[in-house]
Amino acid sequence: MATHEELEARFDALRAKMFAILDVDDAGKIIEIAEELKAEATELEKDAREWGAKMEAQAKSARGRFEVVLLPDQRERIFKATGVRMETVLIEDQSGRLNAAMPGTRRLQIEKIALEQARQKALYAEAEENARTAALTDLAVLEEQGGQMAELVAMVMEDPQFRKALYLDKK
Q: Residue ranges per domain, the chain?
A: 1-62
Place 76 in a pLDDT band, splitting at 50, 70 and 90: very high
CA atoms within 13 A on the CB side of 75: 9
Residue 77 has pLDDT above 70, yes or no: yes
Q: Tell me, what amino acid is at 152?
A: L
Residue 62 has pLDDT above 50, yes or no: no
Residue 24 has pLDDT above 60, yes or no: yes
Residue 130 gets the label, from left (phi > 0), alpha (psi -120 to 50) or beta, of: alpha
